[in-house]
Amino acid sequence: MLRAQERLRRAEAGLAQISPSARRCLLAKRLDGLSYQEIAAKEGLSVAAAEKQVARALLFLTKWMDGW
Average pLDDT, integer, range 1-15: 91
pTM for the model stands at: 0.87
Q: In this predicted model, what pLDDT tens digit does every residue of 13-49 receive, in sequence order?
A: 999 999 999 999 999 999 999 999 999 999 999 999 9
Q: Evaluate if residue 65 carries a pLDDT over 90.
A: yes
Q: How confident is the model at residue 67 (pLDDT cuts 50, 70, 90)?
A: confident
Angle at 53 between CA 47 and CA 55, to 5 degrees: 100
Domain ranges, ordered by start, for the chain: 2-65
For every residue of the chain, DSSP letters joined together read: -HHHHHHHHHHHHHHHHS-HHHHHHHHHHHTS---HHHHHHHHT--HHHHHHHHHHHHHHHHHHHTT-
Query: Is CATH 1.10.10.10 correct for 2-65?
Result: yes
